[in-house]
Amino acid sequence: MKPWLLLSPQFAHDIAPLALRLGAPFQSDEIPVWQPLDWHGLHFPNRLGLAGGVDKDGELIEEWWAYGIGFAEVGTITPRPQGPNPGVIMNRDLESRALWNRMGFPGSGVDVARENLRDLPPKRRTPVFVNIGKNRETSNDDAVRDYAACMKALDGLADAFVVNISSPNTTGLRELLQPRRFQKFLGGVLAAKNKIEASTTPVLLKVSPDAEDQDLQAIVKVACDLGIDGFIATNTTLAREHGSPFPPEGGVSGAPLAARSKEVLKLIRETTGPNRLIVSVGGVLTSDDVRERLKLGADLVQVYSALIFEGPGFFRHVARAMSKR
């Protein structure tokens, strides 16, 4: 029985933090350990984590730890607070196990995120990645400034930064992935990070599933040449299956994204070899899906839609399945 699926998507989304807080004290004190990973001085007790977009301000990390995550990605964090895009911003389709959103980086801004991260225990139970973006009124020409501001404010609190220029829900954002802009943009972001005194925080790039393979390969190669530490594959998609109930704008995740997400995972792994961290996300809805992504070359796996359809117990369900194998 999954009573939250009887609620409207927006209402279920709005009450989810309260439900998570109420349920957390009844969870195990131990984070499940399966296939632990050490990378860049970080220890992941297991390979399954929370995708960006769930905990936008980093206010529920301790509650998510109670549910057994191996790592968390919070955000997208922007320098200044901003609300969601106007109108309907989310929906779901139970038949196709698909989720749709056009939120557009709503959040309380970097100052609130910084305080939330400062409130975490000094010894964190898992790594915490911070997904950063630009405010919607910031032009692409000035985008580096917003990403640099987030990194400067959060360095030392983020275990890794995730550069998000692949969301389809901020007008014009994906133009930064175009060849004429991408190298200058990402080079500027990495240069800004390197100017932060004593910073050793790794940086990951979140990629779009909608890029053509040859364009995606070019993006990955340029990013590697510039010194990126890894990739998150993928963001939501603008593609629609035949008969999709969703409008053309906004991003779709869940089962319709699975095939393309796996293709992108394999392409990035073939392009980069074993030397870059790859996090696979998109259409991961079962423990078998998690196992498959790891076999295809992912170092880590994330979920979002699975939490909508299965609930937060998904992390411990996967842990039991992986431990049995």
Q: Inform me whether the pLDDT recorded for 4 exceeds 90.
A: no
Length of the chain: 325
Q: Residue 76: is the preceding peptide bond cis (ω within 30°)? A: yes
Q: Write down the number of H helices and E strands in the chain.
A: 10, 13
* d(C-alpha 134, C-alpha 145), whole Å: 8
pTM to 2 decimals? 0.94
- Which of the residue ranges 125-139, 237-251, 284-298 would you say has the lowest mean pLDDT? 237-251
Residue-range domain boundaries for the chain: 3-324
Please confirm, yes or no, whether 167 is among the known catalytic residues. Answer: yes
Mean of all residue pLDDT scores within the chain? 93
- Mean pLDDT over 272-279 rounds to 92
Q: Inform me whether the pLDDT recorded for 34 exceeds 80.
A: yes
pLDDT value, residue 12: 84
pLDDT value, residue 320: 94
For 293, the enclosing helix (H) or strand (E) is: helix 287-295
* d(C-alpha 172, C-alpha 165), whole Å: 9
For 217, the enclosing helix (H) or strand (E) is: helix 213-226
Across-strand partners of 128?
72
Q: Inform me whether the pLDDT recorded for 1 exceeds 70.
A: no
* d(C-alpha 76, C-alpha 146), whole Å: 12
Is 147 in contact with 189 (CB distance < 8 Å)? yes
Catalytic residue among 167, 253, 261, 305: 167
Q: Inform me whether the pLDDT recorded for 6 exceeds 90.
A: no
Residue given tokens 């696979």 in the structure block? 280
Instruction: Give residue 246's pLDDT band: very low, low, confident or very high (50, 70, 90).
Output: very high
CATH of domain 3-324: 3.20.20.70
